[in-house]
Chain A
């Protein structure tokens, strides 16, 4: 079983929809939780970062971490065609020298 599980999709939604992306994990040592966005033929870029449990909001994006359930989520409000990309969750424990464990990535398509 993978340490981090993410539904690969693909996920297709109409413009303006609320998108929910999720990851589950098994390692209770993870404390740093990230969401990366990756456009086609590009490298991943950091979208959201959360330490430990709780919510974090940045514009149309909200990241949630529930450590008791080992479950993290990314919500995208008022989704736009420019949000079409692959979204990767990633996690790290504080003692892992910055090494990240990634989910498989969810491919999102927002249709105009």
Chain B
């Protein structure tokens, strides 16, 4: 049971470069999420998707782009990376958007450093 996998796990990139973080889930969950985790802020929602081809902004979407052409994949792209985007990024998935007890599952995280 592979679950939810993120790649790369660790990435160093330069300011201004485009970076794509990949997320793949094997459960066919409808909902997928991208969060970033920073000291003092906990996890903050960047983008989420209710189904293939349906995406919406979260709390901190600026500088990020997402797509969801297939249910199982939800890549996150930093079009022109900035130092403020140095963070740990977590992808998550959930069977339903109505949180009536269903669990949101998180990936292992992608550590991104922008120099």
- Bound Cα distance A54, B33 (Å): 29
Residue A42 CB within 8 A of the other chain: yes
18 contacts between A and B (CB under 8 A): A4-B42, A32-B101, A42-B109, A51-B101, A88-B43, A90-B43, A94-B99, A97-B31, A97-B97, A97-B98, A98-B33, A98-B48, A98-B97, A98-B98, A98-B104, A100-B104, A103-B42, A104-B42
What mask results when residues 75 to 115 of chain B are scored 1 for a CB within 8 Å of chain A, else 0? 00000000000000010101011111111101111000000
- Contact pick for B40, options A8, A45, A51, A97, CB 8 Å: A8
| Nearest 10 interchain pairs by C-beta | A43-B106, A102-B42, A97-B97, A102-B43, A98-B97, A104-B42, A92-B99, A32-B99, A98-B94, A98-B99
Whether B99 pairs with A41 at a CB distance below 8 angstroms is no
- For A97, what are the chain B residues with a Cβ–Cβ distance below 8 Å? 31, 48, 50, 56, 97-98
